[in-house]
Chain A
Amino acid sequence: KQEVTQIPAALSVPEGENLVLNCSFTDSAIYNLQWFRQDPGKGLTSLLLIQSSQREQTSGRLNASLDKSSGRSTLYIAASQPGDSATYLCAVRPTGGTSYGKLTFGQGTILTVHP
Chain B
Amino acid sequence: KAGVTQTPRYLIKTRGQQVTLSCSPISGHRSVSWYQQTPGQGLQFLFEYFSETQRNKGNFPGRFSGRQFSNSRSEMNVSTLELGDSALYLCASSLGQPGFSSTDTQYFGPGTRLTVL
> Which residues from chain A sit less than 8 Å from chain B, CB to CB?
31-32, 34, 36, 41-46, 49, 51-53, 89, 91, 93, 95, 98-108
Residues of B within 8 A of A98 (CB): 55-56
In the complex where A36-B108, A45-B108, A100-B55 touch, is A51 in contact with B48 (Cβ < 8 A)?
no
Considering the chains assembled together, what is the distance between the CA atoms of A114 and B80 in angstroms? 44
Considering the chains assembled together, what is the distance between the CA atoms of A20 and B55 in angstroms? 35
> Which residues from chain B sit less than 8 Å from chain A, CB to CB?
4, 31-33, 35, 42-45, 48, 50, 55-56, 58, 88, 90, 92, 94, 96, 98, 101-111, 113
Q: Could you list 13 A-B pairs, sorted by A, with CB under 8 Å? A: A41-B88, A43-B111, A45-B108, A51-B102, A93-B104, A98-B56, A100-B50, A100-B55, A101-B48, A103-B43, A103-B106, A105-B35, A105-B43
Starting from the known contacts A43-B4, A51-B103, A89-B43, 12 additional A-B residue pairs (CB-CB under 8 Å) come to A32-B103, A32-B104, A34-B105, A42-B110, A43-B109, A44-B90, A53-B102, A100-B96, A100-B98, A103-B33, A103-B43, A105-B35
Residues of A within 8 A of B50 (CB): 100-101
In the complex where A101-B31, A102-B33 touch, is A43 in contact with B103 (Cβ < 8 A)?
no
Please give me the residue from chain A that is nearest to B42 by CB atom: A107
Considering the chains assembled together, what is the distance between the CA atoms of A106 and B56 in angstroms? 20
Residues of B within 8 A of A32 (CB): 101-104
**B45 CB contact (under 8 Å) in A52, A95, A104:** A104
Are B108 and A44 in contact, with the CB atoms below 8 A?
Answer: yes
Considering the chains assembled together, what is the distance between the CA atoms of A52 and B33 in angstroms? 21
Residues of B within 8 A of A43 (CB): 4, 90, 108-111
Residues of A within 8 A of B90 (CB): 43-44
Please give me the residue from chain B that is nearest to A48 by CB atom: B105
Are B113 and A101 in contact, with the CB atoms below 8 A?
Answer: no
Considering the chains assembled together, what is the distance between the CA atoms of A78 and B45 in angstroms? 31
Please give me the residue from chain A that is nearest to B48 by CB atom: A101
Please give me the residue from chain B that is nearest to A107 by CB atom: B42
Residues of A within 8 A of B94 (CB): 101
Are A103 and B42 in contact, with the CB atoms below 8 A?
Answer: no
Please give me the residue from chain A that is nearest to B59 by CB atom: A1
